[in-house]
Structure 1
Amino acid sequence: MPERHLIVIDGLDGSGKATQTALLAEYFQSKGIPVRKVTFPDYNSRSSELVKMYLNGEISNNPEDINAYGAAGFYASDRYISYLTDWGKDYQRGTLILCDRYVSSNAIHQMVKLQEKDWDSFLDWLQDYEYDKLGLPRPDQILYLDMHPDVSQKLLSARYQGDNSKKDIHESNLNYLLNCRKAALYAAEKLGWTVIPCSDSQQPYTIETISEQIKRIIGK
C-alpha cells in the first residue's frame, strides 16, 4: 500500500497562501515527488455554493450572524464532496496532496464566533466531525502563515486595486480578522501547527524569505 501524505498551508486572507502553496508544489516537483495542489473553497465546483452564498453576504453581511457550527458545515461539505469526486483518488494512490486551506480554516474563521471558554470543545467537535465522521484525511503537517491583519489588509487593497467592494465579508471586517488571528494562534498551540512569521508590525517579509522558512521546516 502506498504511503499517503497531506500538507496544509493556511492563514488569514492576504497572507500569501496561494503563492506559497504554488512555490512548495514546485519545490516537491523539483525533487521528483508527485504532488497535487488543492485549493479550498473549491470555487470551480458546485460543492462550494453554500460557501459562496455565505461569503457574498447573501445570508448576512456580518459573518458573526452565522452560527459557527452551521458555517463550518458549509466548508466541510465542500471538502467532503471534493475529496470524493476529485483528489481523493490521487491521495489514495500516494500522490502528495498540498492544500491551500483545509479543516484548519474552520478553526481559524469559525471559532471566533464562540466564547473563548467554548473553543476547546469546538476544536474537539471539528476534528471529530471532519476527520472521523466524514473521513477526510488528517494532515501530516499544518503550516500557519502568520501575517498580521494590518499588513494583510494593505496587500488585499493592492490585490483589488483599492476597490474594497471586491472584498468578501471576512476580508472587509478588520476586527473579525484580528479575532481570527487570535483564534488561529490558539489552535496552532493546541493542535501542534507550525507557525510561520510572515511580517513585522508594518511590512510583509519577502516571498522568498517566507518560502525558505517553509522549505527548512519541510526539510526537517
Structure 2
Amino acid sequence: MQVKMRANAGLFIAIEGVDGSGKSTQFARLQKRLNQAGYETATFTFPQYDQPSSYFVRAYLDGHYGDTNDVGPYTSSLFYALDRYEAAPHIQAALDAGKVVLIDRYVGSNMAHQGTKFNHAEERRGYFIWLDNLEFEMLRIPRPDANIVLRVPAETAHDLITRRADNASARKRDMHEKNLDHLKKTVEVYDDMCQLFPRDFQRVDCTRGGELLDIDTIHEIIWQKIEPFLPTKPKERAPEAEAHA
C-alpha cells in the first residue's frame, strides 16, 4: 500500500465502507491498538450529527428537501462538505501535533453515496474530480494519507444492518442505508473508486469464500496495511496517564 506522507509527523487514516461493513468496530479496534502501542490518536466521525454544522445533512436525510434521490449529487455534497469544513481546523491541529487521526467516513463516503446518482461512469468520474477540487483545493480540508475501504457484499451488509436496526439512532436517520438497492450501487461505486484511485483508496475484502471474516482477522489485515507508515518512535504516554489506563 502506498501512503501519501505529509510534512508533519501526523498520520491521517479514514475508514470507509457501506453501513454494515464493520466500520465502527474496526475503527474502535484500531484506535485501541494504536493507543496501547503508545501513539496519540484523535478521532472524528462524520456526519457530525450532534453539531450545528450538520444541519443541512440532517435536513437532507430527514427528507426536508424531498426524497434524497431528487436532490442532485452536487447540491447534497455541499451539505456534507460544509460539515467537514467546520471540523477541518481540529483535524489539522491534531496532525500538526503529530497524532494519528482516525476518521469514520470522510470524503470517500460522499463519493460513494452520491456517485450512485449517476447512470454513466464518465459523468460520475467528472463528479469525483469536482468533489476532490471542492473539498481539498477550495475548502482546504485535510486530505487523508490513506482511505481504508471495508468491502462487504451488499446482501451481507443489509443482513447485519437488519439485525442491529435498533442500536443506533443516527443510522435510523440515514435513509440511504435502509435501501438494499442503494447498498448494492454503493458497493459498486466503492469498487470503482478503488480501481480508479488505488493510491487513495485501499480495499480490504471482509469476506472469503462467501463467508464474513472474523473481526480479529479483518483488524490484522488493516493493521498490516498501516503499520509500516506509523511513526517509528511513538510518543510515550505520561506516567499519570499510564496509572489511569
Partner in structure 1 of residue 217 of structure 2: 209
Partner in structure 1 of residue 55 of structure 2: 49
Partner in structure 1 of residue 145 of structure 2: 140
CA distance in 2, matches of 1:202, 1:152: 12
Q: Which of residues 99, 104, 108 is equivalent to 2:108?
A: 104
Q: Answer yes or no: is the 8 Å Cα contact 1:151–1:203 preserved in 2.
A: no
CA distance 1:198–1:91, change in 2 (3 Å): same
CA distance in 1, matches of 2:166, 2:139: 39
Describe the SS at the equivalent of 1:113. Answer: coil
Q: How does 1:44-193 map to 2 (within 5 A)?
A: 44-61=50-67, 63-84=68-89, 86-114=90-118, 115-161=120-166, 166=172, 168-192=174-198, 193=201
- The letter for the 2-side match of 1:29 is N
TM-score normalized by the length of structure 2? 0.82
Moved more, 29-38 or 193-202: 193-202
Unpaired segments ≥5 residues, structure 2: 1-6, 229-245
Of structures 1 and 2, the larger Rg is shown by 2
Query: Shift of the alpha carbon at 1:201?
Result: 7.1
Query: Shift of the alpha carbon at 1:194?
Result: 0.9
CA distance in 2, matches of 1:106, 1:22: 22
- The letter for the 1-side match of 2:114 is Q
CA distance 1:51–1:167, change in 2 (3 Å): closer
Unpaired segments ≥5 residues, structure 1: none
- Work out the number of aligned pairs and report it: 216
CA distance 1:125–1:189, change in 2 (3 Å): same
CA distance 1:39–1:166, change in 2 (3 Å): closer
Partner in structure 2 of residue 219 of structure 1: 227
Query: Shift of the alpha carbon at 1:2?
Result: 3.8
What does the per-residue CA deviation read over 1:112-162, in whole Å, with 9 as the maximum and x for residues that have no partner? 112222122111111111011111111111100001110111111111159
- Is residue 2:29 matched to residue 1:16? no
Q: Answer yes or no: is the 8 Å Cα contact 2:204–2:222 preserved in 1.
A: yes
TM-score normalized by the length of structure 1? 0.91
Identity of aligned residues (%): 31
Describe the SS at the equivalent of 1:177. Answer: helix
CA distance in 1, matches of 2:21, 2:224: 19
